[in-house]
A and B are shown apart, each in its own frame.
Chain A
Amino acid sequence: MRKQKVLNNKWYGLIAVFAAIGGWGGFASAAEEAQVVPASRKVESKNMALVGYNDLQGRSAYQPLVHKQGERWIAYIGHHGGTKEIPQQYNPLTKQKEDNGTSLVDVTDPKHPKYVAHIPGEPGFGEQGGAQMVRVCDGKDLPKADRSKTYLLRTGGTSSHEIWDVTVPEHPTLLTTVVKGLKDTHKNWWECNTGIAYLISDGRPEKWRTKRMTKIYDLSDPAKPVFIRNFALVGQQPGATGDNVPEDTHGPIVAGNRVYFGYGTLLGGVIQIVDRDKLLKGNPASKDPFAPTAENLLYPQVSRLDMYPTIGAHTTFPVLGMEVPAFEKFHTKTGEFRSGKPAKRDFLVVVNESTQNECHEDYHMMFMVDITDETKPFSVSNFMVPEKSGNFCARGGRFGTHSSNEDMGPIYYKRLVFIAWFNAGLRVVDIRDPFSPREVAYYIPAINKNTAKRCVSVDGKDRCKIAIQTNNAEVDDRGYIYIVDRAGTGMHILELTGPARSIANFSK
């Protein structure tokens, strides 16, 4: 018995060595006796460097968003709920254990992020608790708000959507509860220049046939939310019939007069392109333009693309007006494109979500969908991380895509997208030729003491491993890249280096 233990410890050492040099896979089976197997304790990266780090109090993190607030840069991080083992994490600022909610971190100096406040969220594990979504707008941008203030729109666990006054990030105060009494929420969108918000909300209380649909509010005055309408795919409305109910809404992204909705996080994906103006005004031919009828739901729809059943449409990030270098010499007789000027094309970067540990599922990847002819969206290319490049299926946790950055700032837009790839960390993809996306950089943080285990059932028993679970990524207007971890590893602030950096537009 004693001897066995020593042997195990030796294996641990060997595994750590092999993980460090990327030779992990062959020894995974040898380590299966151990209850918890640690993945790489060493950072793996290409063309990326760590600038700063914050442990986010060890909380499981979902959405980061970095906002310039006066002269300060504040990172808002939405958290998933805690785990059965650690339902609440300790907050040193209040000296109390708190349910995971929202972290506010001053990242003005990205080398030394300063944790300034934690707004507790709802009790509940994983996606059943916490406060995973954040959006932030300044009062000076919102049409009817206090110009001196900054507002945080967040989900309150699965039950509500709230607006907080975060003008002084150290002292957030609850301003309004937009809607409550729900049993599900998800990825919201808030237009700062109009105040229109698309809140992913439980549809069931109002008899919709989906746990996630879109409630559209006018939050131009954050103190006085005004409900506009409910929206979802045809077939999800109250009273609809048939067994083939489309998958739940995941979230929208707005660009110009279009709203790009993704439905189905991991399967049954649907991409829907919606005319924003028609969506907000409703169908004039209907007595009640917002009544949840099939006709009224179809009225603003420009098109929809059904992905195949085993992939979702988790994030649908529009990249519009791309000049495709490969098309430089093509031109049409009709003069639509002039000779010598690259044809412009519109795309959606679509990722779907890996949800099963250790590849017990279909491979989930990124797609580029050509929406130049927006009535007929057509997926034309893909990007995937080769599994073999890191033996990711044996590392533990999920391997596959989850989400992309959503910021459209000029440094990276139309050039690079940042994809959270769970145990493969952050992958940076050059999309300048959208028909041929290529990886130019990556960063997989090292696990640390906060990184929670991820288990699969083997012969009825849990077999657990500890691995990075990069959940979401976002960039700020200075070009810093923020990645956060679902397994509690914290927030890593990164920058591009080498040839990858020269693809970005830092020249201004």
Chain B
Amino acid sequence: MKVISAAVLAMALMFALAASMAAAQSAQNNQRADAMNMRLVGYSDLQGRSAFLPVIVEQHGRWIAYVGHQGGTAVNSLNGKSEGNGTSILDVTDPKHPKYLHHLATTGGALLTNRGEGSGALSVQVCAGKDLPKGDREKFYMLRSVGSETQEMWDVTRPENPARIAIVADKLQSTHANWWECDTGIAYINSGLPDWQVRRITQVFDLSDPVKPVLIRNFGLPGQQPGAPKPPSVRWRDGHGPFSTGPQGNRLYFGYGNLGDGALQIVDRQKLLTGPPEPTSENLLSPQIALLMAGKRQAVHGVYPLLGMEIADFAKSTKGRVRDFILIMPEAIENECREEPQMLIVVDVTHETEPVGVANFQVSEKSGNFCSRGARFGPHSTNTRLTPIYHKRVVFVAWFNAGVRALDVRNPFNLKEIGYYVPATNANTEPSCVKEDGKQHCKTAIVTNAVEVDDRGYIYMVDRNNTGMHILELTGSARQVANFNK
């Protein structure tokens, strides 16, 4: 017994030593904010929770930010209790002084102490009842994923006091980024179903009446459906959710893959919604317009459409002046660049049956020695809200340890960085670690996970490693690229 205790004590000492060494090393890597043409307006610590996705909605004259969190626990400062990471709800009407209104905690399977994507409540989408065909016009609704198992519908009309009103889906094996069309109620829910061959697919729901979810069909790439021959892995071109252009555009741009070997799929929305739902290879293929393989090294995690772009350089050409593009982003996964370089790629989809890559954007590694800063370096996702202030002009990309990068996209053949903001690390920032020669070393760095904009032009960035939410605005020449003169 004594021997064991000594061993335990020794191990505890070793851990303490390792922790203090890590802390010492982390301290050396504390960063100050670094910015170009972007300025901090306001900040919330999000109670020190790991954040995945912010969504900002104007709600009866107030501006409310909903932030989906990844797993973990933290004390809710509003009630003093330790709560499993769920959804943060903030009033950002005054962006200089964001007010934390509510933490919608997770419990049970969703409450896992290890950080990560299988726990917490990653995805959040909010629609106004007045937009939804069968919603209560006075109400606001929030669709969120909970852990790996559940998709829930909440009434958030009073953001201080949300109420759960429906379970959209449960007994799932994975969840991820959802897309909810507020004008039709159609939702593309990123779920895992036990009988499908890959971890994540898309479930198409009619949520026009938020309390009466109707499943339309399950969707994935041919070969991922139940009964298909086993693919090389359960992560084989994992679904990562679509960007929908709604009934007007009638297109869905799906990204697939997480660790390379990804694909961009262009889908006819109408055919997807009305086609025969049985998941046969033929039925899965019938709404597909094109599938572009991204190669061994790139996955397609985020997609952002730039349609109907007039190319200034082509002004004098008689043909091909107006073009359509999709920005596709992989996800940097490994800390300290222990992976293939991941970059944003511009795909020309003017001739949508034959999409072709035409350009790329990378943050210069040397400009910030990002590979040695700690944590991931590379793109993750863009803003998804298409406000006229920024759409077709500026796109914001979450670039992990390089913060948020503002890109001038007016000429998609030649994307230009016009601004960036890398917040300072703080007391909440969790170190990011790598193993080298059997030893672990950790560094404390920003891990900007996602970025979103609101219709006032404020930019919201959230941190995967607990640094919180920074509300930003463009300044200087970058602000001139945006369209604020309404």
Q: Which residues of A contact B (CB under 8 A)?
A: 305-311, 324, 326-333, 343, 359-363, 365, 367, 370, 372-373, 376, 378-382, 384, 386-388, 393-394, 435-436
B213 sits at the interface (CB 8 A): no
Whether A310 contacts B351 by the Cβ 8 Å rule is yes
Pairs A-B, 4 closest by C-beta atoms: A393-B316, A362-B320, A329-B371, A373-B296
B345 sits at the interface (CB 8 A): yes
Contact of A373 among B297, B355, B359 (CB under 8 A): B297
B315 sits at the interface (CB 8 A): yes
B362 sits at the interface (CB 8 A): yes
The CA-CA distance from A310 to B314 in the complex, in Å, is 14
Chain B positions within 8 Å of A331 at CB level: 337-338
Whether B338 contacts A378 by the Cβ 8 Å rule is no
Chain B positions within 8 Å of A384 at CB level: 313, 413
CB distance from B249 to the nearest CB of A (A): 19
The CA-CA distance from A386 to B414 in the complex, in Å, is 11
> CB-defined interface of B288-324 with A at 8 Å, one 1/0 digit per residue?
0000011111100000000000010111111110000
| A-B pairs with beta carbons under 8 Å apart, 11 shown | A306-B354, A307-B354, A329-B371, A329-B372, A359-B317, A363-B317, A380-B357, A382-B413, A384-B413, A387-B315, A436-B360
B136 sits at the interface (CB 8 A): no
B350 sits at the interface (CB 8 A): yes
CB distance from B37 to the nearest CB of A (A): 21
The CA-CA distance from A379 to B328 in the complex, in Å, is 13
Contact of A362 among B296, B315, B317 (CB under 8 A): B317
Given contacts A382-B358, A384-B413, contact A310 B319 (CB under 8 A): yes
Contact of B362 among A326, A332, A343, A372 (CB under 8 A): A326
B348 sits at the interface (CB 8 A): yes
> In chain B, residues 331-369, which have Cβ atoms closer than 8 Å to a Cβ of chain A?
334, 337-341, 343, 345, 348, 350-351, 354-360, 362, 364-366
Chain B positions within 8 Å of A435 at CB level: 343, 360, 362
Q: Which residue of B lies closest to A337 (CB)?
A: B340
Q: Which residue of B lies closest to A268 (CB)?
A: B354
Chain B positions within 8 Å of A328 at CB level: 365
Most buried by B among A309, A367, A370, A381: A381
CB distance from A81 to the nearest CB of B (A): 28
Whether A308 contacts B341 by the Cβ 8 Å rule is no
The CA-CA distance from A421 to B61 in the complex, in Å, is 57
Whether A363 contacts B341 by the Cβ 8 Å rule is no
Q: Which residue of B lies closest to A365 (CB)?
A: B413
Whether A308 contacts B348 by the Cβ 8 Å rule is yes
The CA-CA distance from A372 to B294 in the complex, in Å, is 12
Given contacts A360-B318, A363-B320, A381-B359, contact A329 B350 (CB under 8 A): no
Whether B350 contacts A308 by the Cβ 8 Å rule is yes
The CA-CA distance from A5 to B354 in the complex, in Å, is 53
Q: Which residue of A lies closest to B337 (CB)?
A: A330
Chain A positions within 8 Å of B337 at CB level: 329-331
Chain A positions within 8 Å of B413 at CB level: 365, 382, 384
Contact of A310 among B320, B359, B365, B372 (CB under 8 A): B320
> CB-defined interface of B453-479 with A at 8 Å, one 1/0 digit per residue?
000000000000000000000000000
Majority-rule SS of B interface residues: loop
Whether A359 contacts B295 by the Cβ 8 Å rule is no
Chain B positions within 8 Å of A306 at CB level: 354, 356
Chain A positions within 8 Å of B358 at CB level: 367, 379, 381-382
Chain B positions within 8 Å of A326 at CB level: 341, 362, 364-366
> CB-defined interface of B436-452 with A at 8 Å, one 1/0 digit per residue?
00000000000000000
Task: Identify 19 new A-B residue pairs, CB closer than 8 A, beyond the known A330-B339, A360-B318, A378-B295.
Answer: A307-B354, A308-B348, A308-B351, A329-B365, A329-B371, A332-B340, A343-B340, A361-B318, A361-B320, A365-B413, A372-B295, A373-B297, A376-B293, A378-B357, A379-B358, A387-B314, A387-B316, A435-B362, A436-B360
Chain A positions within 8 Å of B351 at CB level: 308-310
Chain B positions within 8 Å of A305 at CB level: 356
Whether B338 contacts A363 by the Cβ 8 Å rule is no
Q: Which residue of A lies closest to B294 (CB)?
A: A378
The CA-CA distance from A461 to B14 in the complex, in Å, is 89
The CA-CA distance from A365 to B298 in the complex, in Å, is 24
The CA-CA distance from A379 to B295 in the complex, in Å, is 10
Q: Which residues of B contact A (CB under 8 A)?
A: 293-298, 311, 313-320, 334, 337-341, 343, 345, 348, 350-351, 354-360, 362, 364-366, 371-372, 413-414
Q: Which residue of A lies closest to B343 (CB)?
A: A435
The CA-CA distance from A370 to B356 in the complex, in Å, is 12
Whether A376 contacts B362 by the Cβ 8 Å rule is no
Whether B365 contacts A393 by the Cβ 8 Å rule is no
Most buried by A among B360, B372, B413: B360
Given contacts A308-B351, A332-B338, contact A388 B318 (CB under 8 A): no
The CA-CA distance from A357 to B355 in the complex, in Å, is 27
Chain A positions within 8 Å of B362 at CB level: 326, 435
Whether B341 contacts A343 by the Cβ 8 Å rule is yes
Chain A positions within 8 Å of B354 at CB level: 306-309
Chain A positions within 8 Å of B317 at CB level: 359, 361-363, 387, 393
CB distance from B378 to the nearest CB of A (A): 9
Chain B positions within 8 Å of A308 at CB level: 348, 350-351, 354-356
Q: Which residue of A lies closest to B413 (CB)?
A: A382
Whether A394 contacts B316 by the Cβ 8 Å rule is yes
Q: Which residue of A lies closest to B338 (CB)?
A: A333
Chain A positions within 8 Å of B295 at CB level: 370, 372-373, 376, 378
CB distance from A399 to the nearest CB of B (A): 9
The CA-CA distance from A161 to B362 in the complex, in Å, is 47
Chain A positions within 8 Å of B341 at CB level: 324, 326-327, 330, 343
Q: Which residue of B lies closest to A394 (CB)?
A: B316
Given contacts A376-B293, A387-B316, contact A307 B356 (CB under 8 A): yes
The CA-CA distance from A329 to B414 in the complex, in Å, is 25
Chain B positions within 8 Å of A363 at CB level: 311, 313-314, 317, 320
Given contacts A332-B338, A359-B317, A363-B317, contact A379 B372 (CB under 8 A): no
Chain A positions within 8 Å of B365 at CB level: 326-330
Whether B297 contacts A372 by the Cβ 8 Å rule is yes
Chain B positions within 8 Å of A393 at CB level: 316-317
The CA-CA distance from A311 to B314 in the complex, in Å, is 14
Whether A332 contacts B359 by the Cβ 8 Å rule is no
Chain B positions within 8 Å of A310 at CB level: 319-320, 350-351
CB distance from A246 to the nearest CB of B (A): 12
The CA-CA distance from A46 to B89 in the complex, in Å, is 58
Chain B positions within 8 Å of A381 at CB level: 358-360
CB distance from A312 to the nearest CB of B (A): 12
Q: Which residue of A lies closest to B298 (CB)?
A: A378
The CA-CA distance from A388 to B314 in the complex, in Å, is 9
The CA-CA distance from A329 to B362 in the complex, in Å, is 14
The CA-CA distance from A330 to B341 in the complex, in Å, is 6
Chain A positions within 8 Å of B356 at CB level: 305-308, 311, 379
Given contacts A308-B356, A310-B320, A378-B357, contact A386 B313 (CB under 8 A): yes
Whether B359 contacts A382 by the Cβ 8 Å rule is yes
Q: Which residue of B lies closest to A336 (CB)?
A: B340
Given contacts A343-B341, A435-B360, contact A388 B348 (CB under 8 A): no
The CA-CA distance from A367 to B311 in the complex, in Å, is 17
Chain B positions within 8 Å of A332 at CB level: 338-340
Chain A positions within 8 Å of B366 at CB level: 326
The CA-CA distance from A393 to B334 in the complex, in Å, is 48
The CA-CA distance from A386 to B340 in the complex, in Å, is 32
The CA-CA distance from A323 to B133 in the complex, in Å, is 55
Chain B positions within 8 Å of A388 at CB level: 313
The CA-CA distance from A372 to B297 in the complex, in Å, is 9
Chain B positions within 8 Å of A394 at CB level: 316
Q: Which residue of A lies closest to B436 (CB)?
A: A339
The CA-CA distance from A146 to B321 in the complex, in Å, is 55
CB distance from B339 to the nearest CB of A (A): 6
Most buried by B among A360, A378, A387: A378
CB distance from A24 to the nearest CB of B (A): 13
Chain B positions within 8 Å of A436 at CB level: 360
